[in-house]
Amino acid sequence: MLCPPSRLHASRRTLALAAVAGTLLSAPFHTGAAQLPGARAPGAPTSLTPDQAAARAIYKEMVEINTVDDSVGSVTKAAQAMAAHFRAAGFPDADMHLVGPASAPTKQNLVVRYRGKGRGKPILLLAHLDVVQALRSDWPRDPFTLIEEDGWFFGRGVSDDKSMASMFVANLLRYKREGWVPERDLILALTADEEGGSQNGVSWLIANHRALIDAEYAINEGGGGTLKDDKPQFHSIQAAEKVYEDFTFTVHNTGGHSSVPRRDNAIYSLAQALLRVQQHTFPVELNDITRPFFEQTAKVEMPSLAAAMRAIVANPGDTAAARIISTDPRYASMLRTTCVATMLHGGHAPNALPQTVTANVNCRIAPTSKASQVRATLERVVNDTSVSISGSRADRSDGAPVPVNATLLRITEQLTRQMFGDIPVIPTMSTGATDGYRLRNAGIPTFGVSGIFSAPGETNAHGRNEKLRVKSYYDGLAFLYELVKRVAGPGTPVS
């Protein structure tokens, strides 16, 4: 989830620009036959139940179907494979829909309806099948082979989002085997282009087949549990998210012969602009989700962070508190809008002055701000008329965050205590992007909750050697099995 596909290939001219702006770049990137990283993850089961084994087989099948958004991947192939499981389990064809734009045959979405008693609007279970690019040359092993080693699953999509997608599939198939009939229908949507691309499945379904996915609310990615020292610290429910926007920084120049350098070098101008962006800190912007998030998280954080969190809630202008909170990158991004350079291109020959150079600056905007405001801030910060800044999207108008559905929250709290101990369940704002905002803006409240726990940053989603704890996968499988049954099943009040 959470950002568009990486473009890892670089031309010689791109590398030349990167060398000039070296202070903007991360540490050297190593490839080759390295060993898979990380210590042994505790708690992985030594044997599997039949239901766990069935889920693992679906997980493996999903991971090993390349669903990258380019000519080598196909979301449709994965959707068809999942449809075959539902058909074999006895789901009628009338309740399965493989749909999508005719112009994108590799980007078809699968929507499956699990029939209940019709007492209340359906609940939508949403997961995306597409994944970001993963080059074989960058990984020690094939990224499209599910590897299980030392208590970890490795592979592209094992965390984002084929873990949750496979859990939903496996659990619906299990409900069918068990003959369980919920009070209301369940709808599963496995979609395309969440990670970027022109054929986003959720937007297409809203525009073309709203009735297929219409629901009281949706359960999506974006939430989950946080581990500290391998122990559950808190469980989050995503109820809001930051706004994604890419800005293109461009510098044009007449260029010339490299033997006669000039001061107005396009690469230098761009590098200086990016350094100014790096040095700029946007102001703190709290909202109805992040304010209580920091209040609740202060109860389980270390004393210094806890004190700063309480102080920032009391006074968002407290710069000392913001500075302490910002020592943790997760929390820093929840405080404010962030912008970071992610791609560089420039120059046309090694012996010529550059005529055009560009950079992509990726911003994650606090939902209380707009992209046009951020662009204006970037122009002010850069303060160089030779650098043009353009954005591709109009301002997005997210509605105010709504409270988490009361039944969903109550049952999440009950299950969290039963499975993970006496830890808080905290509504949160995702710093990355999901398709949840598309549903929210279409009038379908959407909440991220999974029961999948991880330590901060350890899954390396979108990165090399993406991974997930084996124990966390099976915990999430069990959590979602019970959660969905309890929010939709007999004896549960329909909210």
> For residues 143 and 154, what is the distance between their CA atoms, to the nearest angstrom?
8
What global pTM score does this model have?
Answer: 0.86
Q: Do 209 and 258 belong together in one domain? A: no
Q: Do 200 and 283 belong together in one domain? A: no
Let me know if residue 495 belongs to a domain: no
Q: Do 299 and 446 belong together in one domain? A: no
Let me know if residue 419 belongs to a domain: no
Q: Do 63 and 198 belong together in one domain? A: yes
In which domain, by residue range, is 461 found? 50-241+426-488
Helix (H) or strand (E) holding 325: helix 319-325
Q: Do 176 and 121 belong together in one domain? A: yes
Report yes or no: 245 and 391 within 8 Å, Cβ to Cβ: yes
CATH for 134: 3.40.630.10
Q: Which of 391, 418, 434 is the last residue of a domain?
A: 391
CA distances from 430 to 17, 187, 312, 441 (A): 32, 24, 19, 16
Query: Residue 400: what pLDDT?
Result: 74
Domain count, the chain: 2
Let me know if residue 412 belongs to a domain: no
For 168-214, how does the pLDDT look when each residue is reduced to its tens digit (9 = 90+)?
999 999 999 999 999 999 999 999 999 988 999 999 999 999 999 99
Pairing of strands 467-469, 152-154: antiparallel
Q: Do 140 and 260 belong together in one domain? A: no
Let me know if residue 11 belongs to a domain: no
Let me know if residue 38 belongs to a domain: no
Let me know if residue 416 belongs to a domain: no
CATH for 296: 3.30.70.360
> For residues 99 and 206, what is the distance between their CA atoms, to the nearest angstrom?
12
Q: Do 317 and 273 belong together in one domain? A: yes
Q: Do 232 and 274 belong together in one domain? A: no
Residue 266 tokens read as: 């396009």
CA distances from 259 to 56, 218, 351 (A): 61, 61, 8
Query: Residue 1: what pLDDT?
Result: 54
Let me know if residue 443 belongs to a domain: yes
Q: Do 128 and 78 belong together in one domain? A: yes
Q: Do 272 and 231 belong together in one domain? A: no
Q: Do 295 and 380 belong together in one domain? A: yes
Query: Residue 491: what pLDDT?
Result: 53
Residue 171 tokens read as: 């659990």
Query: Residue 303: what pLDDT?
Result: 96
Question: What does the buried/exposed string (b/e) look like for 57-89 if buried means 16 or more CB atoms within 10 Å of the residue's CB?
Answer: ebbbbbbbbbbbbeeebbbbebbebbbebbeee
Q: Which of 391, 412, 447 is the last residue of a domain?
A: 391
Query: Residue 296: what pLDDT?
Result: 94
Q: Which of 391, 414, 444 is the last residue of a domain?
A: 391
Ranges of residues in the chain with a pLDDT under 70 are 1-38, 491-495
Query: Residue 27: what pLDDT?
Result: 33
Which sign does the torsion angle of CA 309, 312, 318, 319 carry? positive
Query: Residue 433: what pLDDT?
Result: 86
Let me know if residue 17 belongs to a domain: no
Q: Do 231 and 283 belong together in one domain? A: no
